[in-house]
Amino acid sequence: MNERRVLVVDDEADILNLVKMLLKSHGYMVAVAGDGKEALKQVKIFRPQVILLDIMMPEMDGGDVVRELKKDPMTSQIPIVFLTAILKEGEGKKGAGVKIGDTYYPGIAKPFENKEILEAIERIFTR
């Protein structure tokens, strides 16, 4: 299977649509979820190779999603990139990350440039 599948999770519809269109226009297969619970369902159905994940969402935030994914051997190795407005001041956009448990995940600060999304995803697929 040569498809490059990305799941985008964000509670802001504008962000979901923007990122979905951007990734599709660059040849990625894209599924979207508007909250953490929907993300966990989509992971089982869509089987993404990468997840772009917002941290601040109602009911189940991005940290909760990561913790659930890490419990399951089938989903524990899916690379995650956080797409969030809450990266700490001073971290800057390059190399910033989000710590969940003992693990740092790469992060892209909102507002973002399209190039940042594409570069982060491509880094994962070319590892």
For the entire predicted model, the pTM comes to 0.91
Q: H/E element holding 91?
A: none
What is the SS3 assignment for 93?
Answer: coil
What is the SS3 assignment for 98?
Answer: strand
d(CA 70, CA 30): 22
| The pLDDT of residue 87 | 62
Q: pLDDT tens digits, residue range 11-52? A: 999 999 999 999 999 999 999 999 999 999 999 999 999 999
CATH at residue 17: 3.40.50.2300
How buried is 93 (Cβ within 10 angstroms: 0-12 exposed, 13-18 middle, 19+ buried)?
A: middle
Q: pLDDT tens digits, residue range 70-126? A: 999 999 999 999 998 876 544 444 456 788 888 889 999 888 999 999 999 999 999
List C-alpha distances in Å: 124 to 42, 64, 78: 20, 22, 10
Domain around 68: 5-125
Count of domains observed in the chain: 1
